[in-house]
A = this chain, B = another copy of it.
Amino acid sequence: MTVTIYDVAREANVSMATVSRVVNGNPNVKPVTRKKVSRTIEELGYRPNAVARGLASKKTTTVGAIIPDISSIFFAELARGIEDIATMYKYNMILSNSDQNKDKELQLINAMLEKQVDGILFMGGDITEDHANQFESASVPVVVAATQDETNTIPSVNIDYEAAAFEATSYLLGKEYEKIAFISGVDDTLINQQKYNGYLRALKEKNVSLNDDYILTGDYSYDSGLDASDQLLQMEDKPDAVFVSSDEMALGVIHGAQDKGYQVPQDLEVFGFDNTRLATMVRPTLSTIVQPMYDIGAVAMRLLTKYMNKEEVEEKKVVLPHRIVERDSTK
């Protein structure tokens, strides 16, 4: 029923090998033969079976991508970067959501390994020993993106979160404010930690003492930003500005303040993180840290192709530049 390479060979009076050669663009085929084979391929409507090819060649031209949640604007952008570069290099991408659940992550890695992916792109919480072991259990290359590696063994693409948080906080502090709140993410990932460290370092540098009340946590969602905003604005000693560790939360903070009748940035300055499209889809527009999500995905995928081709890789840990954009949510 389905036409195979063998059918084409018979019909074109050549061997399977020759058909295989023309399908794979092997130059060692006489032009006349190539033409003949190509025509019968066309006639028979032959479509190469990638599974059979994968079994024989031990290459699937498929990569696995494990992502916390594709419906998050941040990760969706990252995924787009990955997929574009994957396509460019003729790879397909199996995408799975992990919800940052470690068991699920481990299980997904295993499933992808069973499918014989040629490489894995991992995004999530931290890479633990368990992850590293799971990765090692097969010999396919792995690159992590926007994710920290506790074991410090896996190639990665990130920005410098500590520095970014430091700069954001310093920027706010530079206005002679002292009361700067910080809304971090709930999860105790390294990235979160690094942002917090950057915040602390900035305070220290300006000799501002830490006020624990000004440290809140959210889950990166808009609603948790709204909540945080409420908490901030109910304080006796309200902060002058707040550095929020994701844009979506920052929008929540802005609207929470506005809903209570406060003005941003007059009554409260708000500074975000990521520069997702949301940052310009709010009034006032959001000052934030530019984290090049698409590029992180693209660079990570590019790096993975290098490992898959066994090319030399100059830097195993890529740190992409970040920067501040000032918009209207700060003065």
Interface residues of A (CB under 8 A from B): 45, 47-52, 54-55, 60, 62, 69-73, 76-77, 79-80, 83-84, 87, 92-97, 110-116, 137-138, 222, 248, 251-252, 255, 258-259, 277-278, 280-283, 294
Contacts and interface: CB of A to CB of B under 8 A. Distances in A.
Nearest to A116: B51
5 contacts: A70-B76, A87-B96, A93-B95, A222-B280, A255-B281
A273 B206 CA distance: 48
- Chain A, interface SS category: helix
Contact of A76 (B52, B76, B258, B294): B76
A282 B282 contact: yes
Given A49-B55, A92-B112, A252-B281, 6 more contacts: A49-B116, A51-B115, A52-B55, A71-B76, A72-B76, A248-B281
Nearest to A65: B95
A87 B80 CA distance: 21
A77 B70 CA distance: 8
A106 to B, nearest CB: 13
A184 B93 CA distance: 33
B62 A69 contact: no
